[in-house]
Structure 1
């Protein structure tokens, strides 16, 4: 199969019901400080002084550091955390770090220096009243996707509705995108769904907060370090993450539905190291009716094993020669352009 055939294959696949899964690689393209490595460094520098005097927290944090020194990845290293105080400290400091990096890049973000905008501009043309919804699923805490969508004049629904302090309710929020149209031939009125993106931030967000066991979105509080009576709704890596997801399963129900409805999965800068997302999608990828495309710098996490088990997936990664490596059906093809970068991918192929 040559490049033209692969291009045609990608274009055809992306015409089907689409779900995008966007990982931290997309945010790193704006600033490396959005990456897990930078967050790990931040937590290493601040957590010891935050938890000083709490024996359980100090003991568990030492175990986390021991795991990291043994080259265990960040997520699995945090599995030892049981202390509520340590967990809360990690959540607070994670929020501070992401807020700081997001704020430092606010000028760049606001003028549209976001590579994934090139992809969103192409996908905008795929939305219509007959194909009104594209789902985006992301574990990212930052607000880059929201800014990129807004820059493209793409309306999005993240499950919240209301004024400054938005309440979480997918059914209510979807009502904002329902329209009543008058059929000029029959004279009957019928409902239509206004084209939009559905954004599923499955691990929370910089602008999501918990108060009295309810999840709210309040953009005006995004960059504050501490807000009285509010807790950031951020689900950090580690075993405690799974407990919080189970406790807030209603928050993720629409993500599950989006994964089931999709016929095509496009992974952008995604590392395949998040079992909560991966397990659901991998159950579907091996079905004949479903296809997947991976666009990323490196095939890390479980990506290589998933690709090996599902050779019908098209994977595009960095060949470290200034171009890209395309893996498809057990074969590899070199490309002289860096189409593993999402803006290059969109401009070259879509």
Structure 2
């Protein structure tokens, strides 16, 4: 029975894949490489941000914020419910960078001696065996793992900036290239900074935040919606929206359907325009399950890990009920077996 189902699922995956899906990378895609998630970030902020030099009202708001986190409230909700001053917000941004940047560099250093470290690179290389000249990745992640995956396979990538030691904002056709992967980072990147004159730049691998610069990453919560009306986010989100509107299929890797900037477009394209979606992740979030099980998408394939080691649970618009099968098809490496 499972062999018949796997054959059907494999054909379904290939059918969606042949339409050159837009790849959506969520936090789960980075967690597979040891990058800290929201809970680890919350603990880091509580431990490392000092407020002794701030006003009483700022100290009070920070105390309330930390208490919410200690009570089990998720980071995004806490940042939405408690108004933090610009000074505190900047400290949250800097502390976030200081946690994630070394983790990002650690993965980069691994890649020197692990030439097949990034299955995403293998996927992109395979996708370029078609007539496609341009591929698109959309991600709320700050890390540069997608960029490293491109470089693993010698693929040119564009993230809104020119290449070089100090990149500046340019259009995606700034360079003429036979094949290009566009990486739309809707919440910023560990390599993006702005100086005191609000000049935006992209820098290479840094071991600390350069003096006089501020990281350009958007924190969760209400600040996310304020900041994304500014550059470079405004242009990046506009471009990613166009990409989402034109696509007929999507491949979500570790995406939890908890980010409004991406989720709203994705849900509506699948519900109203018959777009197809593939979701692979360690564990489907409640939001992801609601999306597929309430039949908001007519054409979907979702795969998560099973509680039984070495097995996966498959949800498909082609089968009535979820089924457990042998194999780790929920991981990107495992999923590649369906399409290669």
Q: Normalization by structure 1: what TM-score?
A: 0.87
What is the match of residue 305 of structure 2?
A: 318
Query: What SS does structure 1 have at the residue aligned with 2:105?
Result: helix
* Counterpart check, 1:335 vs 2:325: yes
Residues 212-255 of structure 1 show CA distances to partners (whole Å, capped at 9, x for unaligned) of 333211115x322x322321101010101100001231232111
* Counterpart check, 1:254 vs 2:239: yes
8 A Cα contact 1:129 1:195, kept in partner: no
- Report matched runs for 1:252-291 at 5 Å: 252-291=237-276
Return the offset for 1:306.
1.1
- Report matched runs for 1:173-252 at 5 Å: 173-177=172-176, 194-211=178-195, 212-220=197-205, 222-224=206-208, 226-248=209-231, 249-252=234-237
Query: What SS does structure 1 have at the residue aligned with 2:328?
Result: coil
Quote the Cα distance in structure 2 between the aligned partners of 1:45 and 1:279. Answer: 34
Quote the Cα distance in structure 2 between the aligned partners of 1:122 and 1:46. Answer: 38
8 A Cα contact 2:278 2:300, kept in partner: yes
Question: Kindly tell me: are residues 342 and 6 of structure 1, through their superposed partners in 2, closer, same or farther at Cα, counting changes over 3 Å?
Answer: same
Quote the Cα distance in structure 2 between the aligned partners of 1:308 and 1:114. Answer: 35
Query: What SS does structure 2 have at the residue aligned with 1:340?
Result: coil
Quote the Cα distance in structure 1 between the aligned partners of 2:124 and 2:230. Answer: 34
Residues 237-287 of structure 1 show CA distances to partners (whole Å, capped at 9, x for unaligned) of 010110000123123211111111111111101122111221122221213
Question: Kindly tell me: are residues 162 and 2 of structure 1, through their superposed partners in 2, closer, same or farther at Cα, counting changes over 3 Å?
Answer: closer
What is the match of residue 20 of structure 1?
A: 23
Q: Normalization by structure 2: what TM-score?
A: 0.89
8 A Cα contact 2:41 2:96, kept in partner: yes
Quote the Cα distance in structure 2 between the aligned partners of 1:307 and 1:253. Answer: 26
What is the match of residue 335 of structure 2?
A: 345
Question: Kindly tell me: are residues 3 and 162 of structure 1, through their superposed partners in 2, closer, same or farther at Cα, counting changes over 3 Å?
Answer: closer
8 A Cα contact 1:127 1:196, kept in partner: no
* Deviation >4 Å, runs of 4+: none
What is the match of residue 152 of structure 1?
A: 153
8 A Cα contact 1:141 1:234, kept in partner: yes
Quote the Cα distance in structure 2 between the aligned partners of 1:81 and 1:112. Answer: 44
Q: C-alpha root-mean-square deviation of aligned residues, in Å?
A: 2.1
Count of matched residue positions in the alignment of Structure 1 and Structure 2: 328
Question: Kindly tell me: are residues 302 and 52 of structure 1, through their superposed partners in 2, closer, same or farther at Cα, counting changes over 3 Å?
Answer: farther
Quote the Cα distance in structure 2 between the aligned partners of 1:96 and 1:198. Answer: 26
What is the match of residue 4 of structure 1?
A: 7
What is the match of residue 187 of structure 1?
A: none
8 A Cα contact 1:51 1:86, kept in partner: no
8 A Cα contact 1:19 1:134, kept in partner: yes
Query: What SS does structure 1 have at the residue aligned with 2:168?
Result: strand
Question: Kindly tell me: are residues 289 and 17 of structure 1, through their superposed partners in 2, closer, same or farther at Cα, counting changes over 3 Å?
Answer: farther
What is the match of residue 185 of structure 1?
A: none
What is the match of residue 41 of structure 2?
A: 39
* Counterpart check, 1:165 vs 2:155: no
